[in-house]
Amino acid sequence: MSFSRLIVIVFVVLMVPAVVYGHPAPDGFAELTKRLSPAVVNISTSQMIKGEMPRFPEGSAIEKFNDYFGSENRTANSMGSGFVIDPKGIIITNNHVIEDADTVEVTFTDGTVLTANIVGRDPATDLAVLRVFPEQDLPFVSLGNSDEALTGEWVLAIGNPFGLGGSVSAGIISAQNRDISSGNYDQFIQTDAAINRGNSGGPLFNMSGDVIGVNSAILSPSGGSVGVAFSIPSNLVSEIVEQLLTHGFIERGWIGVSVQSVSKAVAQSYGLGIASGALVFSVTVDGPAEKAGIKTGDLIIEFAGKPVENSRVLTALAAKAKPGSIVDVLLIREGKSKTIKVNVDLLKQDSFDVDTGVYDNEAGGTEMVLDMELAVPNAQLRRKYSIRSSVKGLVVLSVREGSDAASKIHIGDVIEQIAWTDVTTVDEAKVRAKAAMAESKRPVLVLINRRGETLRLAIRP
């Protein structure tokens, strides 16, 4: 090989563009930490919990001890993290960090402590927006594009684990779009950066210093970091924060169907080559889907022109749809494709009263059915009673004392069926229970889900 030819080959090789695999591994995190830390804050909350000590009956021999006991109130405190996204005082954190708080205080790296107001919060995605009123502009960070984040890329977490403010940990993105059954809108970024209690609400940074996630949950049998933590992706955060800043609450679309993902075998029976789509197993009475003509057994494969890979995708797409808009729903019914136009309605959910700082659960309301107080399980109820996002039905909030249900039903049980029929709204439950009692004087058969175990019980109203 001639020398001139060798030069040409080397030149050609050098001219080939390098393939970019995300942000390069850094030599260290010191400069990045120095730049970003001032915008990360510690959040502490306090809540007054009223208690009442038992009192002895009047006239009893020990009545005098009532003078030594009385009402006893206590204060519950919690700590978490947050970060500033606007120099005028807008802060993002997790909803569970400030939930039920009477007062919220924000501590900055220079020791400044400011009282925060709650602008709005969204339990469904576990996000909240706070506002403080500083005397001068605050250091802040920007929300990045989480869609550009790559699995295996370096990330940095800064927060307040166990009250140790200003703690920094580093790792990589372990996986993306994780569903951990915490709610209907799970699409978490998984990271092995050390995240512990108190990191909640803090930022997950990429190597450019942009926030690509809000640290929200850990998976741990011990309660400490085992290298499996989850962050809410920044693109979802941007959508939620924009609505909370504009309205103080979240508007979500609703079409009134309960769906489930399908296996490859089921998808093939509908003529699909891969496991895709959302199978309708229940349609809300008088809901938008029923009015449009969607039926149980339909397999929805597109919503508003976007592919529906699974039930979670459909839930997210429907939630993003503007209430009052008309969308095309492409589905498969009896082996044939069919497009149906659906008028999207407003999802009734937890609404936040900015003036009172109180949430009002409007998710279908609650009502006594078969001596059980039933409600649609929102994100808060799912967390409280450990109800997986895949479980459909109505959660039991209370039972009438002395009733037959009281001896059989537990608080937190999910009623999936009444008299062999799926129920996903309180109105459906009322209609089905009334019909079942009219048909026969026998006890009404209900299917319940109790922490993953399904049981059939006969309830005599």
Query: Where in the sequence numbering do the catalytic residues fall?
Result: 96, 126, 200
CB-based contacts of 26: which residues, under 8 Å, 6+ apart?
32, 154, 207
C-alpha 270/C-alpha 263 separation (Å) is 11
HEC letters along 268-294: HHCCCCCCCCEEEEEECCCCHHHHHCC
Query: What is the 3-state composition of the chain as percent helix, strand, coil, each rounded to the nearest 5?
Result: 20, 35, 45
In single-letter form, the type of residue at position 413 comes to: D
CB-based contacts of 187: which residues, under 8 Å, 6+ apart?
177, 178, 179, 233, 236, 312, 316
Contact yes or no for 236/147 (Cβ under 8 A): no
What Å distances lie between residue 111 and 102, 118, 162, CA to CA?
22, 21, 18
Closest listed residue to residue 308, CA positions, set 343, 278, 334: 278
Residue 12 phi, psi (nearest 5): -65, -45
Which position has the token pair 């930022």? 203
Burial of 9 (0-12, 13-18, 19+ CB in 10 A): exposed
Continuous segment of H or E residues that includes residue 380: helix 379-385
CA torsion 171-172-178-180 (nearest 10°) is -10
